[in-house]
Structure 1
Amino acid sequence: MTARIERPLSPHMQTYRWTLTMILSIVHRMTGVALYFGTLLLAWWLISAASGPTAYANVQAFTSSFMGRLIVFGYTWALLHHLLSGIRHFIWDLGYGFKANEREALTWGALIGGISLTVLLWIVAYAVGGGR
C-alpha cells in the first residue's frame, strides 16, 4: 500500500477578492466565445444576401424581430468590448499599464468604452437607416 502524499492545494477563486480586472478578464474570454456564434449569424446574413431576395428576406425578418435585434446588439457589444479588451491586453504585452491606477483606468476604459461605442453605433445606424 502506498502512502498518500499530502500536497498543497492551489488557491481557488473563492480565496481571492474579486476585482474588476478579474471579472473583465473572464468577460473577455466569454465575448471571444460569443463572437464565434455571432460570426455564424454574420455568415448566414452574407450567404442569404448572395442567395437571393427570398433568403435575404428571411434573415432580415429574423434580425428585425425583437430577439434578433437583441442578439445583434449583443454581438455588437461583444465585438467592441473584445476589441477594447484586446487593446488593453496589447498594452500590457508591451509592458505598460501594470500600476494599480493604470490597470484600473484601462479596465474601466474597456468596460465603459465597449458599452458607449455600442450605443453610439446603434444610434448612428438608426439615424442613418431611418429606424429600420
Structure 2
Amino acid sequence: MKKQRPVNLQLNTISFPPAAITSILHRITGVALFFALMFVIWAWAVSVSSSDGFAMVQQQLNGWLGKFVAIGTISALSYHILGGIRHFIMDTGAWEELESGNNSAKAIIGLWILLTIVVGVVLW
C-alpha cells in the first residue's frame, strides 16, 4: 500500500485560515510581551534609582529605539488583549461557526492594525 504523504513540506505554500492566524498571533504576542517586560522592568528600576537614571530612561524613550520598542510593546499588548477578548467570547459559545469565527478573526486583525497605526502616529 502506497501512502500519499508529502515528501517535502513547504510551509510557504500552506494557506492558513484567519482563525488560525489570529490564534498563532495571540501566542506570538504573549511571548513578545514576556520579553518586552524585561525592558519595562529595567526602565522602572533605573528610573527610580536616581534623578540621573530617570533622565537617562527618559532620553532613551525619546530616541528612535525607545519609540520603536514602545510602539511594538503597545501593539503586542493591544493585539493580545483583543485576541483574549475574542477567545473569551468564543468560550461563551459565540463565534464558533466557521464563517463567524473567520469574520471575527478578520475584524480583530483589522482593528489591531488600525490601533497600531494610531499608536505609531501618536508616539512618533
Q: TM-score range by the shorter chain?
A: 0.7 to 0.9
Runs of 5+ consecutive residues of structure 1 not aligned to the other structure: 1-8
TM-score normalized by the length of structure 1: 0.74
Q: 2:17 — aligned with what?
A: 19
Q: What letter is aligned with 2:44? A: L
User: How many Å separate the matches in 2 of 1:30 and 1:13?
Assistant: 21
Range moving further from structure 2, 22-31 or 38-47: 38-47
Q: 1:96 — aligned with what?
A: 94
User: How many Å separate the matches in 2 of 1:67 and 1:49?
Assistant: 17
Question: Percent identity between the aligned chains?
Answer: 29
Q: 2:66 — aligned with what?
A: 68
Runs (4+) off by over 4 Å: 12-16
Among residues 71, 78, 81, which one is paired with 1:80 in the alignment?
Answer: 78
User: How many Å separate the matches in 1 of 2:98 and 2:55?
Assistant: 51
Deviation at 1:122, TM superposition (A): 4.7
Q: 1:46 — aligned with what?
A: 44
User: How many Å separate the matches in 2 of 1:32 and 1:17?
Assistant: 23
1:115 equivalent in alignment to 2:93: no
Q: How many residues align?
A: 116
Deviation at 1:42, TM superposition (A): 1.6
Q: What letter is aligned with 2:91? A: D
Deviation at 1:75, TM superposition (A): 0.6
Query: Is the alpha carbon distance of 1:13 and 1:80 closer, same or farther for their aligned partners in structure 2, counting shifts above 3 Å?
Result: farther
Q: What letter is aligned with 2:19? A: T
Query: Is the alpha carbon distance of 1:113 and 1:16 closer, same or farther for their aligned partners in structure 2, counting shifts above 3 Å?
Result: same
Q: What letter is aligned with 1:76? A: I
Q: What letter is aligned with 2:86? A: R
Q: What letter is aligned with 1:92? A: M
The structure with the larger Rg is 1
